[in-house]
Amino acid sequence: MAKRLLTPETYRYLGGSGVKVSNICLGAMTFGQTGLPGNCDEAASHKILDRFVELGGNFIDTANIYGRGASETIVGNWLSRQERHKIVLASKVRMQMEDDNPNSGGLSRKSIMWSVEESLKRLKTDYIDLFQIHCWDWGTPLEETLRTLDDLVRAGKVRYIGGSNVSSWQFQKIIDYNKFHGLNKWITLQTQYSLLVRDPETEFTDVCKIEGLGLLPWSPLKGGWLSGKIKKGDKAAPEGSRVAWSEAMGDKVRLQSCPKFTPYANEGSIWDLLDKMTEIGKANGKSVAQVALRWLLQKEAVSSVIIGCKTVQQLEDNMGAGAGWELSTEQMSTLDNASAVEPLQVAAMIDRVNATRHRKDWTQ
């Protein structure tokens, strides 16, 4: 039996729930070869899943849309051979599953009830631990969606609910609606968060702290950019990488988890950031990817970082961020400064006006 990297002592609470999860969550978006950016066939995916659990991981994130069901099917086939109660399984609903059927997507009661049953069949389980909306739906009244999610918890189909890809006002509105109507509360928010995407710090961290929810950062390596595999002066991303694939696909792919080569390569600041990450990695005996993931793990309100990988080697590298070392306060500041972005005007104003005022801890 291989040595566990993540022991139960390193597990964190899953947002505002009493469930303990590994601080590294295994994202299943790369499982299945039919989706975007599907990479791993079933055998390769199962090897990654086996190794993840061996190294101490217990938290897996998928979605009905990944490979239009392929990812959930692969996870389900694996899950059916596991002790189900030891795994914390997350999935999502929202994206359209059938081209000719508008009710196979969106967040209507009809769509959610159908989707969850389909997901349960593919996942070969009778409950999902964390069921999340994949993105805001302008076409469905919020009340309809939130009451349906609450019903799913009450029916035992899902244990907890959460969401992804909502703006900060939408997020607060959801929290308030659930609270004031006595519905089951959301426990987590999945949002893109990395050294190249700092918006959650102004948009969501405070809401999560004040309301008691956990952040689950997705695309923590910005689709591979923050792994250090692309070097200054490179004319293209490494062959076979997601970034190279995405660049080659041009306008056919606009997914944020599939960043292209040219825009970043032409942007000076990314190289300064990658230089700093490399230096800090060397000082700690860690890889660039591990520095990127560790930085997130030391950010406020983060429950678990959702990694994506194509190989067992990438998985092992990424899980090495989870325990046994920390970035110093100075190293965190260096990374914060090297990745800093211009704050929103209103955030800058609030900070300036409050600069001399002691900040009250709302969580007390």
Ligand X SMILES: NC(=O)c1ccc[n+]([C@@H]2O[C@H](COP(=O)([O-])OP(=O)(O)OC[C@H]3O[C@@H](n4cnc5c(N)ncnc54)[C@H](OP(=O)(O)O)[C@@H]3O)[C@@H](O)[C@H]2O)c1
Q: Which element (helix H / strand E) includes 184?
A: none
Residue 314, interface with ligand X (CB under 6 A)? yes
The one catalytic residue among 66, 160, 193, 264:
66
Phi and psi, residue 295, nearest 5°? -55, -45
Q: Which is nearer to ligand X, 29 or 120 (CB)?
A: 29
Q: Which is nearer to ligand X, 200 or 350 (CB)?
A: 200
Q: Which is nearer to ligand X, 325 or 350 (CB)?
A: 325
Which strands form 88-93's sheet, in the order they lie side by side?
214-218, 186-192, 158-164, 128-133, 88-93, 59-61, 24-27, 305-307
Say whether 66 is catalytic: yes
Q: How many residues does the chain have?
A: 364
Q: Which is nearer to ligand X, 242 or 276 (CB)?
A: 242
The site map against ligand X for 12-31 (x = CB under 6 A) is ---------------xxxx-
Nearest Cα to 188, choosing from 204, 176, 201, 169?
204
132 strand-pairing partners:
92, 162
* Closest approach of ligand X to the CB of residue 218, in Å: 3
Residue 119, interface with ligand X (CB under 6 A)? no
* Closest approach of ligand X to the CB of residue 352, in Å: 33
Sequence-distant (6+) residues with CB within 8 A of 22 are 6, 10, 11, 56, 57, 58, 59, 304, 322
Q: Which amino acid is it at 303?
A: S
Q: Per the structure block, which two tokens stand in for 309?
A: 């990988």
Task: Out of 32, 61, 74, 148, name the contact with ligand X by CB under 6 A.
Answer: 61
Residues 305, 206: Cα–Cα separation, whole Å: 18
* 128-187 binders of ligand X (CB under 6 A): 134, 164-165
* Closest approach of ligand X to the CB of residue 355, in Å: 34
Nearest Cα to 45, choosing from 30, 34, 56?
30
Report DSSP state, residue 80: T
Task: Out of 56, 220, 281, 322, name the contact with ligand X by CB under 6 A.
Answer: 220
Task: Out of 221, 270, 297, 323, name the contact with ligand X by CB under 6 A.
Answer: 221
Task: Out of 45, 188, 246, 318, name the contact with ligand X by CB under 6 A.
Answer: 318
Residues 177, 180: Cα–Cα separation, whole Å: 5
- By annotation, the residues acting in catalysis are 66
Interface with ligand X by CB under 6 A: which residues?
A: 27-30, 61, 134, 164-165, 190, 218-224, 227, 229, 241-242, 257, 289, 306-310, 314, 317-318
